[in-house]
């Protein structure tokens, strides 16, 4: 089969690899029908995720059709159409029993990081019963691909951790796919204001169509303090992963507010406890657990949430090298999510 293979920082190829086979009885082999590229794959390509070894197939998002199951798989049969969660979980270890699948003792984020991933014609998914979801016939498959990672990430790490409540003033720093997923799912809770901050005007204009009430491209702290009469916001969601944007969150948070960090940080940030110690704020971090995926799937199937709006570019799977170039130049290409289809 063909797959997108990582060969160290900056090096990748669309290459022949052996088709995966069942290793453990709880595995499934899936023929990928649609996959996508994540900002995290770009982090891997830069060498920011050093545990990824030369020769690994990338990708942790996608949907496909079950080709083969091990004897220990009971919920899925050959021919079923499935959503592959970016997080693999056994369902029975201590972490899984707490719903913290991201820290599953034998799983977590392993696809496209520790084991071969979904940017390929076929993928092996361990613990299939607890890591896959059935997809009904006739649904918009592009919408469903957004449920592998970005929608549960924006919702769990941003909206749920931020504890957004009706009437809240919310600021989301970063209008990439993750910040936009937080914007879409924040609206479940009817906040009064959702202020989007990004230096990319194109992404801000998309945020506007997704329900943002205010857009800020410069002087974020000053502008947000002005908008909130000097009080700050109830919830600040960090969806970039650099110290400058975490600093914005610290400077705009109202007394009693929540700072929900989503971004993957490669460097340390300065925590301003000299200002915040008395502000009764909560700061949270989370690796997506995908524990809300079944709920989000129901909302997407109902038509109330349309994550397919995040898709800007479409390619055949065998054009994935070009798709990486497009996604890697997101601002110039006006790209959000790219969809790769295996025909």
What are the residues binding Zn ion (CB under 5 A)?
A: 38, 40, 90, 93, 96, 104, 149
Cβ nearer to ligand NAD, comparing 240 with 299: 240
Contact with ligand NAD (CB under 6 A) among 33, 40, 116, 185: 40
Contacts (Cβ under 8 Å, ≥6 apart) of 245 = 173, 174, 197, 238, 239, 263
The three-class DSSP label of residue 162 is: helix
CB under 6 A: which stretch of 25-33, 127-135, 271-279, 284-292 binds ligand NAD? 284-292
* Residues 241-260 close enough to bind ligand NAD by CB under 6 A: 241, 244-245
As a whole number of angstroms, the distance between CA 263 and CA 286 comes to 9
Q: How many residues does the chain have?
A: 343
Cβ nearer to ligand NAD, comparing 115 with 264: 264
Q: Tell me the per-residue interface mask from 306 to 335 with ligand NAD, x by CB under 6 A, - otherwise.
A: ------------------------x-----
As a whole number of angstroms, the distance between CA 38 and CA 32 comes to 16
Cβ nearer to Zn ion, comparing 197 with 288: 288
**35, β-bridge pairs:** 340
Asked if 37 and 60 touch (Cβ cutoff 8 Å), the reply is no
The H-assigned helical ranges of the chain are 39-46, 94-97, 128-131, 141-145, 150-153, 161-162, 177-186, 201-209, 220-227, 243-252, 273-276, 293-302, 320-328, 330-333
The reply on whether position 288 binds ligand NAD by CB under 6 A is yes
Cβ nearer to Zn ion, comparing 227 with 288: 288
197 binds, among ligand NAD, Zn ion, none (CB under 5 to 8 A by kind): ligand NAD
Nearest distance from C-beta of residue 286 to ligand NAD, angstroms: 6
Contact with ligand NAD (CB under 6 A) among 93, 264, 276, 301: 264
């Amino acid at each position: 089969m063909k797959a997108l293979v990582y060969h160290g920082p900056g090096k990748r190829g669309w290459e022949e690899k052996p088709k995966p086979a069942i290793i453990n009885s709880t595995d499934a082999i899936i023929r990928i029908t649609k996959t996508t590229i994540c900002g995290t794959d770009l982090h891997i390509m830069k060498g920011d995720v050093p545990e990824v070894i030369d020769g690994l197939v990338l990708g942790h998002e996608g949907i496909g059709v079950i080709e083969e199951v091990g004897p220990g798989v009971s919920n899925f049969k050959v021919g079923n159409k499935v959503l592959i969660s970016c997080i693999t979980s056994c369902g029975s270890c201590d972490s899984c029993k707490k719903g913290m699948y991201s820290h599953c003792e034998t799983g977590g984020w392993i696809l496209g990081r520790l084991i071969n991933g979904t940017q390929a014609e076929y993928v092996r998914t361990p613990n299939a019963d607890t890591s896959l979801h059935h997809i009904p016939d006739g649904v918009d498959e592009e919408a469903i691909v957004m449920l592998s990672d970005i929608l549960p990430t924006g919702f769990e790490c941003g909206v749920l951790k931020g504890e957004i409540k009706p009437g809240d003033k919310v600021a989301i720093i970063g209008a990439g796919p993750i910040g936009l997923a937080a914007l879409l799912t924040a609206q479940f809770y009817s906040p009064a204001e959702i202020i989007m901050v990004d230096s990319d005007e194109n992404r801000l204009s998309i945020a506007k169509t997704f329900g943002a009430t205010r857009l800020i491209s410069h002087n974020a702290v000053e502008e947000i303090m002005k908008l909130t009469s000097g009080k700050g916001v109830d919830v600040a969601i960090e969806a970039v992963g650099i110290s400058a944007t975490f600093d914005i969150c610290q400077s705009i948070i109202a007394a009693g507010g929540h700072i929900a960090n989503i971004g993957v940080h490669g460097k340390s940030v300065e925590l301003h406890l000299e200002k915040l110690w008395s502000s009764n704020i909560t700061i949270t971090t989370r690796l997506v657990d995908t524990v809300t995926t079944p709920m989000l799937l129901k909302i997407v199937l109902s038509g109330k949430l349309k994550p397919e709006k995040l898709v800007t570019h479409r390619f055949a799977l065998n054009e994935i090298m070009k798709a990486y170039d497009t996604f890697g130049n997101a601002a110039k290409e006006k790209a959000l999510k790219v969809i790769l289809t295996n025909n």
